[in-house]
């Protein structure tokens, strides 16, 4: 997945970084909505945990901009 491994270029402005983080958060939250809150199998439960961790990390990063 591109958003997980693409570092921000050095020439980006803070508002561009914030926009990218907001887009990533929106993507992950939409995936969480598709999967549901409790998941049907171990894979979905792992993905739910992963997305929650990633959303939290991006929100933290966003708060530091």
What is this structure's pTM? 0.74
**Range of the structural domain that residue 62 is part of:** 37-65
- Please report whether residue 45 resides in a domain: yes
Map tokens 């171990």 to a residue: 42
Q: Which residues contact 35 (CB under 8 A, 6 or more apart)?
A: 44, 47, 48, 51
| Domain-located, residue 1 | no
Q: Is 42 a domain residue? A: yes
Q: Which residues of the chain have pLDDT under 70?
A: 1-12, 14
pLDDT of 38 reads 84
Q: What is the pLDDT of residue 3?
A: 54
**Residue 18 placed within a domain:** no
């Amino acid at each position: 997945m591109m958003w997980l491994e693409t570092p921000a270029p050095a020439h980006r402005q803070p508002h561009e970084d914030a926009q990218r983080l907001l887009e990533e958060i929106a993507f992950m939250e939409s995936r969480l909505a598709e999967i549901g809150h409790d998941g049907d199998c171990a894979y979905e439960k792992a993905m739910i945990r992963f997305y929650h961790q990633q959303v939290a990390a991006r929100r933290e990063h966003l708060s530091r901009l």
